[in-house]
Amino acid sequence: MTADVTTERVDDGPADHAARVMPQLDTVSHAAVSPDDEQPYAELGLRADEYARIREILGRRPTTAELAMYSVMWSEHCSYKSSKVHLRRFADLPESDALLVGMGENAGVVDVGEGWAVTFKVESHNHPSYVEPYQGAATGVGGIVRDILTMGARPVAVMDSLRFGRADAPDTARVLPGVVAGVGGYGNCLGLPNIGGELLFDDCYAGNPLVNALCVGVLRHEDLQLAKAEGTGNKVVLFGARTGGDGIGGVSVLASETFDAEGPAKRPAVQVGDPFTEKLLIEACLEIFAAGLVTGIQDLGGAGISCATSELAAAGSGGMAIDLDAVPLRDSTLTPAEILMSESQERMCAIVEPGKVADFLAVCRKWDVLATVIGEVTDGDRLTIDWHGERIVDVPPRTVALEGPRYERPMARPADLDALQADAPPSSSADLRADWLAVVSSPDGADKTWVTEQYDRYVRGNTVLAQPEDAGVVRIDESSNLGIALSLDGNARYARLDPYTGAQLNLAEAYRNVAVSGARPLAVTNCLNFGSPEEPEVMWQFAEAVRGLADGCRELGLPVTGGNVSLYNQTGDVAINPTPVIGVLGVHADVRRRVPTGWRADGETVLLLGETRPEFGGSAWAAVVHAHLGGLPPRLDLAAERALGELLVGLAADGGVSSAHDLADGGLAQALTESSLRYGVGARLTVDGDPTAALFGESVARVVVTTSDPAAVRAAAEAAGVPVTELGTTGGDALVLDGLLELPLAELREAWTATLPALFGSPEVAVGTVPAGTVPTS
Amino acid sequence: MRIGVITFPGSLDDVDAARAVRLAGGEPVALWHADDDLSGVDAVVLPGGFSYGDYLRAGAIAARAPLMRSVVDRAHAGLPVLGICNGFQVLCEAGLLPGALTRNSHLHFRNRDQGLAVERADTAWTTSFTQGQQIVVPVKNGEGRYVAADADLDRLEGEGRVVVRYVGGNPNGSSRDIAGVTSADGRVVGLMPHPEHAVEDLTGPSEDGLGFFTSVLTAVVAA
């Protein structure tokens, strides 16, 4: 941390201790007359040309405080300086009637009908979670929840998409339990059900685990809040937790640099979460919104007060005056620059009319939330910040918040990509039964109860479907049964083989998962996790993934409502596989018509919808059985996805299917395992054609459904142009594939459930065991 | 029939408890921890959550809330009180129920659908069940391990004050699989599992939890 004050000895007399060292503030007027003072811009992550541009904007050198603000706001994390030129593709998508608020606000807002709107977004907290797993993950949840709250919505659910290094690597045993406990510890204490997510392992994440958290919130159309400061004389109110020394420079140091094994410890830059305070903040905010007490609101996340004040001012009329002395501190020794950069959690900033300040403060008092007027909206277009009566910041806020640098970074197709794509995977299984067990017991394929039972999925009483279902489903209106479905998917093997197609395949999978539950897909969000943008090959992967996602959304007719970019997921010169995690939101007109993935009844017909081809590139089977990654990912067919999706939504509305499960990683073998073990119902099935392709191929646009009326499903599928294959009938206590293999459910369950407890410790040791789906029913 | 549901700072399942009361046919009344007055309710539910963030000890701070003085006074006079999860912790901290809830033996928060055996079908909150009935309701806690001195456990068992016991596995290491206990007069019940999350087939693993809320409506009429 750079010193914010220069000290000069004014008196050597030992008696006058207090006067011996008198700090001299780096004020605006001092900066104007000391142009040649050296400033630590490089240590703060700024390039020489960026620093020169700041000097040009201000017409002088920045003060220490100004330099701190620019450095955090112009960091990759806050400014999207490497990604912005590519993200324009999302804004260029055709306008959607469903979109009430698009990209650029804290989160996009979608109209879901009946006067309800939904806002949802995913955000990464990758780097902090590696440094300090519990707090990194916990504050990742806290941050995205505040983004949703800021839109005027009540947060109603969270999801988490997680990636770690090899499951048996020692560092995974350090990071994973802490991350899971952090996601759970924060979300559980906030009272938000966790309705789903992903947990995947790959060596490429060993030094760069991914922790992507999604939050979804619900609001009435008229309750929408925006983050802007308008109305001269309106007060700027900071409320929530006190400001401390945690998280200083988190965005510029942690999230915008590559980890370096030689580098200094980065632990102090991780924030510490207090979910109890956030819960109070949520309830206080919703009461404040309901009473109409704010004209604008912004949460404090990365870059803290620097970000909130400059963004509010930049989005409004531009003028704002802040008295930094008014900010309540946890640590009175913090310098002004540290206060401006601190990422202390659980803080919000509101713009309040003077006549409403007393009511605003009263609501905060009721909820034991500290609230302080720290400034006001002013005429003009300058953001000024004073400290001890001296002006230490005087900047045009747009230059801080909106007009950061933008780079068209060099791009290059990875040199190894041709060879990788030419390296076709094996295509024939030597032992179908052994391979089946290997795939479903692999850490990626195995039962995730070890993780999900650490999350509250019931709180608020509106969770209709949660993990291990294909999509999470939440009721949003108890009188009409209107609800929403959400899925997060991010296959990085596909994206490594072909980032353009891989991003679309992830979109297709999330779309399919939402449709499987019976919901109509409506909007898309994303969290794009990549390596260093300064590597041309990474930048090419990023650009291709964005182009793919935009093209896919255009074809499916879905808007991108917002998203998050996480770069520098790289240790040394080794980047993670490109990991575009895609979230799709769907709407259920009546959640009572939701379709679960598990089989409950004997004697139902099992049908496969969609077409199977021998496609093994990037497949779980190739990875698990052959440690192979190569070839091309499955062929994308968005027209088929759309036809299948519409068919599934129609079947759900008519009650035509009793279960539906998407085929993805691990193919049919994985899907049949999960559907049968859910409630302990087996099946006798026959598959045609090449058995390896049938069981382990990962052709997309496929779903397994069960029904008591196969003729009706077949007719609907034929009308929709979706191929149908009858596989057999549910029943019995084994999965029997005629002529190929037989798997007793008990053996299959043992294989599927034992993996994660064996790796990460079994809480069952001390107490009895209730495997999923075997709870006694009354 | 007016059933109060207390909201402490950090209460989470208050909306769920109010819904359960409504679905059972009662009228939920929102009560605020800082008030003194129980608003004339006929029974009180202390909901689940993390009151005061579980700081100090789970339930310890909430047990000293102004409204809890009224709850304790009225409970001694027979007011039916149900404490669920954090509410159970509050009742133990407030001295209305014996024993304490400590960190789960495996040190993880755990949420699962849990089998329970109803051992007392004659408390104010359990008359809708039959003696020995097995039910399924969610359990979700990090500090749900019921403990008491052996002599106290023997006394509780002897007096028949174990209301519900875990079956099909003990989720948190509770002594003698105890999931919930009652006061000597059977009017105050505390349990770690969440009956309010099992009141609709759409959202819960069963509708078994509704019985706790229908029971109290009968108990209030009978009183």
pLDDT digits over A697-707, tens only?
999 999 999 99
* Chain A hits for B206, Cβ within 8 Å: 777-778
Q: How would residue A246 be classed by pLDDT, with cut points 50, 70 and 90?
A: confident
* pLDDT value, residue A599: 98
Question: Searching chain B, which residue's CA lies closest to the CA of residue A592?
Answer: B202
Percentage of chain A exceeding pLDDT 90 = 84
Nearest to A368 among B9, B170, B203 (CB): B9
Question: CA distances (Å), A560 to each of A80, A211, A506, A582, B214, in order?
Answer: 17, 21, 14, 10, 47
Give the strand order in the sheet containing B43-46.
Answer: B27-32, B2-7, B43-46, B81-84, B188-191, B178-182, B162-167, B110-118, B134-141
Give the separation between CA A549 and CA A506, rounded to whole angstroms.
9
- If you ran DSSP here, which 8-state letter would residue A751 be given? H
Average pLDDT over residues A103-128: 91
Q: Under an 8 A CB cutoff, do A461 and B203 touch?
A: yes
* pLDDT value, residue A271: 80
Question: CA distances (Å), B206 to each of A275, A471, B187, B209, in order?
Answer: 30, 21, 25, 8
Does pLDDT of A615 surpass 90? Answer: yes
pLDDT digits (tens, 9 = 90+) for A651-697: 999 999 999 999 999 999 999 999 999 999 999 999 999 999 999 99
Question: Searching chain B, which residue's CA lies closest to the CA of residue A367?
Answer: B9
Q: What letter represents residue A675's amino acid?
A: S
Q: Under an 8 A CB cutoff, do A461 and B199 touch?
A: yes
Q: How many H-runs (helices) and E-runs (strands) does chain B carry?
A: 5, 11
Q: Are strands B100-102 and B145-147 parallel, antiparallel or unpaired?
A: antiparallel
More confident residue, A12 or A95: A95
Does pLDDT of B148 surpass 80? Answer: yes
Nearest to A774 by CA among A676, A647, A656: A676
* pLDDT value, residue A573: 87
Domains and CATH numbers, chain A: 26-74+226-404 (3.90.650.10), 596-761 (3.90.650.10)
Does pLDDT of B126 surpass 60? Answer: yes
Q: Under an 8 A CB cutoff, do A464 and B203 touch?
A: yes
* Chain B hits for A778, Cβ within 8 Å: 133-136, 206, 208
* Residue A623 · residue A493 · CB < 8 Å: yes
Average pLDDT over residues A351-372: 97
Give the separation between CA A681 and CA A699, rounded to whole angstroms.
25
Residue for token digits 């079947």?
A651
Give the separation between CA B137 and CA B139, rounded to whole angstroms.
7
Give the separation between CA B47 and CA A726, rounded to whole angstroms.
49
Question: Quick one: three-class SS letters along A626-671?
Answer: HCCCCCCCCCCCHHHHHHHHHHHHHHHHHCCCCEEEECCCCHHHHH
Cβ atoms within 10 Å, residue A708: 13
Nearest to A456 by CA among B140, B70, B126: B140
In this structure, what are the phi and psi dihedrals at residue A487, rounded to the nearest 5 degrees?
A: -140, 145
Q: How would residue B94 be classed by pLDDT, with cut points 50, 70 and 90?
A: very high
Does pLDDT of A768 surpass 50? Answer: no
* pLDDT value, residue A381: 93
How is residue B4 written in tokens? 């109060």
Overall domain count for chain B = 1
Does pLDDT of A7 surpass 60? Answer: no
Q: How far is CA B109 from the centre of its chain?
A: 18
Residue for token digits 């009511």?
A359
Number of Cβ pairs < 8 A linking chain A and chain B:
138
Average pLDDT over residues B116-131: 97
Average pLDDT over residues A317-341: 93
Cα of B185 to nearest chain A Cα, Å? 28
Give the separation between CA B136 and CA A501, rounded to whole angstroms.
45
How is residue A719 written in tokens? 């009308």
Query: How far apart are the two ends of chain B, measured CA to CA in Å?
Result: 12
- By CB atoms closer than 10 A (0-12, 13-18, 19+), residue B131 is exposed
pLDDT digits (tens, 9 = 90+) for A33-43: 999 999 999 98
Give the separation between CA A477 and CA A112, rounded to whole angstroms.
11
Does pLDDT of A14 surpass 60? Answer: no
Q: Under an 8 A CB cutoff, do B202 and A769 touch?
A: no
DSSP reduced 3-state for A379? coil
pLDDT digits (tens, 9 = 90+) for A36-88: 999 999 988 999 999 999 999 999 999 999 999 999 999 998 899 999 999 99
* pLDDT value, residue A102: 78
* pLDDT value, residue A776: 36
Nearest to A276 among B10, B169, B204 (CB): B10
* pLDDT value, residue B213: 98
Q: How would residue A778 be classed by pLDDT, with cut points 50, 70 and 90?
A: very low
Q: Under an 8 A CB cutoff, do B111 and A276 touch?
A: no
Bond before A155 cis per omega within 30 degrees: no
Question: CA distances (Å), B50 to each of A193, A344, B145, in order?
Answer: 14, 22, 16
Does pLDDT of A310 surpass 70? Answer: yes
Nearest to A343 by CA among A544, A72, A79, A611: A72
* pLDDT value, residue A259: 55
Q: Are strands A5-9 and A21-25 parallel, antiparallel or unpaired?
A: antiparallel
Cα of A460 to nearest chain B Cα, Å? 6
Nearest to A271 by CA among A83, A134, A437, A373: A134
DSSP reduced 3-state for A513? helix
Q: How would residue A252 be classed by pLDDT, with cut points 50, 70 and 90?
A: low
In this structure, what are the phi and psi dihedrals at residue A260, rounded to the nearest 5 degrees?
A: -130, 120
pLDDT digits (tens, 9 = 90+) for B9-51: 999 999 999 999 999 999 999 999 999 999 999 999 999 999 9
* Chain B hits for A463, Cβ within 8 Å: 203
Residue positions of B annotated with a catalytic role: 85, 194, 196
Q: How would residue A774 be classed by pLDDT, with cut points 50, 70 and 90?
A: very low
* pLDDT value, residue A247: 72
* Residue A672 · residue A642 · CB < 8 Å: no
* Residue B25 · residue B217 · CB < 8 Å: yes
Q: How would residue A23 be classed by pLDDT, with cut points 50, 70 and 90?
A: low
pLDDT digits (tens, 9 = 90+) for A258-290: 555 444 444 456 788 999 999 999 999 999 999
Question: Quick one: three-class SS letters along B90-140?
Answer: HHHHCCCCCCEEECCCCCCCEEEEEEEEECCCCCCCCCCCCCCCEEEEEEE
Domain residues for the domain of B131 are: 2-222
Does pLDDT of A103 surpass 80? Answer: no
Asked if A362 is an interface residue toward chain B (Cβ–Cβ < 8 A), one would say: no
pLDDT digits (tens, 9 = 90+) for A732-767: 999 999 999 999 999 999 999 999 999 998 755 334
* pLDDT value, residue A769: 36
Tallying the residues shown for chain B, one arrives at 223
DSSP reduced 3-state for A565? strand
Does pLDDT of A507 surpass 50? Answer: yes
Query: How far apart are the two ends of chain A, measured CA to CA in Å?
Result: 62
* Residue A349 · residue A238 · CB < 8 Å: yes
Q: What is the DSSP string of A679-723?
A: HT--EEE---S-HHHHHH---SS-EEEEES-HHHHHHHHHHHT--
pLDDT digits (tens, 9 = 90+) for A163-186: 999 999 999 999 999 999 999 999
Q: Which residues of A479-510 are buried (b: 16+ CB within 10 A; e: fewer)?
A: eebbbbbbbbbbbbbbbbbbbbbbbbbbbbbb
Q: What is the mean pLDDT of chain B?
A: 96
Question: CA distances (Å), A253 to each of A47, A259, B36, in order?
Answer: 14, 10, 50
Average pLDDT over residues A392-401: 96
Please, which residues 182-211 of chain B have a Cβ atom closer than 8 Å to chain A? 194, 196-197, 199-200, 202-206, 208
pLDDT digits (tens, 9 = 90+) for B49-63: 999 999 989 999 999
Cβ atoms within 10 Å, residue A639: 12
Cα of A316 to nearest chain B Cα, Å? 34
- Best of A346, A459, A473 to substitute, by most chain B Cβ atoms within 10 angstroms, is A459
* pLDDT value, residue A96: 85
- If you ran DSSP here, which 8-state letter would residue A234 be given? P
Q: Which domain CATH number covers B46?
A: 3.40.50.880
Question: Searching chain B, which residue's CA lies closest to the CA of residue A156?
Answer: B12
pLDDT digits (tens, 9 = 90+) for A709-726: 999 999 999 999 999 999
Q: Under an 8 A CB cutoff, do A763 and B108 touch?
A: yes
Does pLDDT of A11 surpass 80? Answer: no
* Residue A249 · residue A618 · CB < 8 Å: no
* Residue A425 · residue A667 · CB < 8 Å: no
Asked if A276 is an interface residue toward chain B (Cβ–Cβ < 8 A), one would say: yes
Does pLDDT of A17 surpass 50? Answer: no
Asked if A279 is an interface residue toward chain B (Cβ–Cβ < 8 A), one would say: yes
Cα of B63 to nearest chain A Cα, Å? 17
Average pLDDT over residues A117-125: 96
Give the separation between CA A414 and CA A422, rounded to whole angstroms.
14
Cα of A496 to nearest chain B Cα, Å? 35
Nearest to A141 by CA among A273, A285, A297, A305: A273
Strands (E), B157-218: 162-167, 178-182, 188-191
DSSP reduced 3-state for A527? strand
- If you ran DSSP here, which 8-state letter would residue A549 be given? H
